Amino acid sequence: MKNYLSERARKLAPYTAGEQPKDRKYVKLNTNENPYPPSPKAAEVLHSFDAESLKLYPAPDSSALCAAIAAAEGVEPENVFCGNGSDEILALCLPAFFDEGGEGAAFADITYSFYPVFCRFFGVPYTQIPLEEDFTLDLEKLTRASAQGVIVANPNAPTGIGISLPEIENFVRENSGRVVILDEAYMPFFGQSAVPLIRQYKNLLVVKTFSKGYSLAGMRCGYAVGDVSLIDGLCRCKDCFNSYPVDRVCQAVCAAAVSDGAYYAQKNALVISERERLSDALRALGFQVLPSKSNFVFARHGRLAGREVYEGLRARGVLVRWFDKPRIADFVRITVGSPEENAALLYALSELVR
């Protein structure tokens, strides 16, 4: 039969998201969703939403949402760009800041696995800098890499390791000749955002999401903060692809969410304290746990292989994420859930380890 796919589509190796199985009810600790509900103020906006307004297209530049984000982040609205999930923004960064077949992008070998997928999709070459033995990133090695721009997830995924703000500032300064894209998807659980640096460093773009820290993964919204020239590059690319990426409901709900910082500060503090409790409990069960600054932990057992832990937990109704990749195949990534979910995980693990 004739193959109707383009050569490009046939050659793609897409990103694999965490599984969402329907065969039974699982304790779902595999995609780093927040265990707490969204802000009641965001829920109220959703419940009272004027359905009639949906006959009209939304604001193409998400202007009211950008203003709400700007107020929360202490920047100007023209420094903010909104997208349909931060994945979409990270994807738009490639055509915006990298030339096809040019010097390319540089990032860690163990980091968010969407980066190489995006690079291949847009024909941008990439260099991967190996993490150190302890899974930290040597920023000097990344600085020395020849590339048109660099991408750093801080805290990193799937390791959970965070880089302090002074180190990030030094890195951004040393890379002033090229764009630095900081993926701060997990920053709500670390609290050292580089957003205040965007005024001083015109090469810095900080990308954030409503999916993790704002309990709105189902809404699909993310944003970038940076100098107007970078924001303009993203807008130019967006308008060649999808002029209205953020729908009306999403703009309204996310604006309410980002304006309710107090609620999220409280809930995310609970996630952080539960993360520390979970890390200690895992260590007591014989796991090595990397020091996490995110809403998940990355852990390996002394005797059990990563696949055994993943499969054993799955059979007991608990989903975690396992990556069949060099260096990290013995680890599992476990989302910090509610206290009840974490208790279920620890109970299943105690059975497995025994």
Q: Residues in the site for ligand PLP, rule: CB under 6 A?
A: 32, 85-87, 112, 153, 157, 183, 185, 209, 211-212, 217, 222
Q: Do β-strands 331-335 and 296-301 pair in parallel, antiparallel, or remain unpaired?
A: antiparallel
Helix (H) or strand (E) holding 118: helix 114-121
CB of 155 to ligand PLP, least distance (A): 9
Our CB check for ligand PLP shows the closer of 253 and 304 to be 253
Task: State the residue number with the nearest CB to ligand PLP.
Answer: 85
Our CB check for ligand PLP shows the closer of 156 and 203 to be 156
CB of 186 to ligand PLP, least distance (A): 7
Our CB check for ligand PLP shows the closer of 175 and 211 to be 211
Cβ–Cβ < 8 Å for 248, 53:
yes
N- to C-terminal Cα separation, the chain: 53
Our CB check for ligand PLP shows the closer of 62 and 209 to be 209
In angstroms and rounded to an integer, the radius of gyration of the C-alpha atoms of the chain is: 20
Which amino acid, one-letter code, is at 244?
A: Y
How is residue 246 written in tokens?
């953020």
CB of 252 to ligand PLP, least distance (A): 18
Helix (H) or strand (E) holding 180: strand 179-183
CB of 62 to ligand PLP, least distance (A): 14
**What are the φ/ψ torsions at residue 173 (nearest 5 degrees)?**
-65, -45
DSSP conformational letter for 19: P
Our CB check for ligand PLP shows the closer of 34 and 86 to be 86
Number of H helices, E strands in the chain: 12, 12
Our CB check for ligand PLP shows the closer of 46 and 281 to be 46
Place of tokens 């900081």: 182
CB of 158 to ligand PLP, least distance (A): 8
Q: Is 169 exposed, middle or buried (0-12, 13-18, 19+ CB in 10 A)?
A: middle
Our CB check for ligand PLP shows the closer of 45 and 182 to be 182
CB of 61 to ligand PLP, least distance (A): 18
Angstrom distance (rounded) from CA 214 to CA 317: 26
Our CB check for ligand PLP shows the closer of 158 and 306 to be 158
Place of tokens 């291949």: 120
**What are the φ/ψ torsions at residue 272 (nearest 5 degrees)?**
-65, -45
- The SS3 of residue 110 is coil
CB of 2 to ligand PLP, least distance (A): 35
Angstrom distance (rounded) from CA 141 to CA 94: 22
CB of 296 to ligand PLP, least distance (A): 9
